Amino acid sequence: MIDRYTRPEMGAIWSIEAKFQTYLDVEIAVCQAQSDMGLIPAAALAEIKSKARFDVARIDEIELQVKHDVIAFLTSVGENVGDAARYIHMGLTSSDVIDTALALQLKRAAVILMAGLEKLTEAVLKQARKHKHTVMVGRSHGIHAEPITFGFKMAVWVEELRRHKVRLEQAVEMISVGQMSGPVGTYSNISPEVEERTLALIGLIPAKISTQIIQRDRHAQFVMTLALIAASLEKFAVEIRHLQRTDVLEVEEPFASGQKGSSAMPHKRNPVASENITGLARVIRGNAVAALENVALWHERDISHSSVERIILPDSTILLDYMLNRLAVVMDGLVVYPENMLRNMDVFGGVIFSQAVLLKLTDKGLAREVAYKLVQDNAMAAWNTKSGNFRENLLADKRVTEHLTEEEIVSSFDPANYLQNIERVFERAGI
């Protein structure tokens, strides 16, 4: 991933140095387990631990000749360890090390992602509580529908983010497995006990059964979870973009002192963070498709998945980390304009209160179809008309006033009628 979207902590997990260090951690753990079982002399283990190191430049040099990165890595380590190096990688195949190390990297990445998810959730939760009673219009199909509160909108997001926390926990559990089972998974030259001891040392559990590799449905679930989270972040970002439009202007991304919105138009205050998040979500969704394609490999393995994972796993975790933290900043500093929300809600004389009038007319005994027609006639007469006023139309329509008093009509335009269960909704959501 490019530096622009790479936060240091997450980027460090996927560095070349970190990859090979994790390989080495796994190899040493195997040696430790084998030594504990009497398979490797204690003196050799001590020598391995004290001398085992690698040089990335040397690995690259060796790989040019051998065309195998794990062999190049082992050769570099062996050059530093000396004679005791013969005990390193004993009974293993390359994928035992690669896949087990990858599980460790994904676990570490997930810790950072979980922290970012919690940070964003708290920022949204703050807005939900703050604006619990900030009335605005709810929209369906992009068209004004009925009153809601901005806090209610935020509460919907909070609950969605909480579901993602559960999904990420499940995905981490699914990916937190390793293997030390040899070329095709049958433990031909290594025992299940070595595997169990090794993985216990590094905080993983054994895959119940594997081939040469950990099966890729696990990794697909992980990436698909990241894609789901990214999809929600895009959903939130798109909402902010819509609400920030000049003709709406109900919320606005924070605009820093000295910030510029356009190279040509000094007046511009663009939702650039939300647009950025929208775009990056597309990349992670694309990576999820690639992860699914990696599930179907030939027989006990091929390496068609390997090149893909070198890209999609670092990139997806790096991007989601960036997105979570950038959106958290937006939500923490989000500018909300309650007065604009009230202004927009009353467009065309409060047409959004049509259902309240409809229900009052039906309560008076009118057939629903008749009542609907009366209300719709008055709403459409106000719709997209400069001086259109639904409330005044109703008060002037004798077909309505013969059934409803002025007080009954006017009381239909009280948003509180629509929001009487907000407290209950928040309580049920634990907000």
Q: Supply the residues annotated as catalytic.
A: 141, 262
Q: What is the 3-state secondary structure (H, E, C) of 126-190?
A: HHHHHCCCCEEEEEECCEEEEEEEHHHHHHHHHHHHHHHHHHHHHHHHHHCEECCCCCCCCCCCC
CB burial of 272-291 (b: ≥16 within 10 Å; e: otherwise) equals ebbebbbebbebbbebbebb
Q: What's the CA angle centered on 366, arms 361 and 371, to 5 degrees? A: 60
3-state SS record for 262-321 = CCCCCCCCCCHHHHHHHHHHHHHHHHHHHHHHCCCCCCCCCCHHHHHHHHHHHHHHHHHH
Q: Is 143 left (phi over 0), alpha (psi -120 to 50) or beta?
A: beta
Backbone φ and ψ of 145, nearest 5°: -115, -85
**How many Å apart are CA 317 and CA 280, to the nearest integer?**
12
Residues 234-254: b if buried by 16+ CB within 10 A, e if exposed? bebbbbbbebbeeeebbbbbe
CA 335, distance to chain mean position in Å, is 23
Q: What's the token pair of residue 145?
A: 């529908």
Query: Taking the alpha carbons of 51, 55, 58, 59 in that order, is the dihedral positive or negative?
Result: positive
Query: Angle at which helices 217-244 and 304-332 pack, to 10 degrees?
Result: 30
Q: For residue 156, what are the contacts with CB-CB under 8 A and spacing of at least 6?
A: none
What is the three-class DSSP state of 333? coil
DSSP 3-state percent helix, strand, coil across the chain (nearest 5):
65, 5, 30
What type of residue is 212? Q
Rounded Cα gap, residues 228 and 281, in angstroms: 9
Tokens of 394: 């109703």
* Contact indicator for 6, 178 with CB cutoff of 8 Å: no
What is the identity of the amino acid at 30?
Answer: V
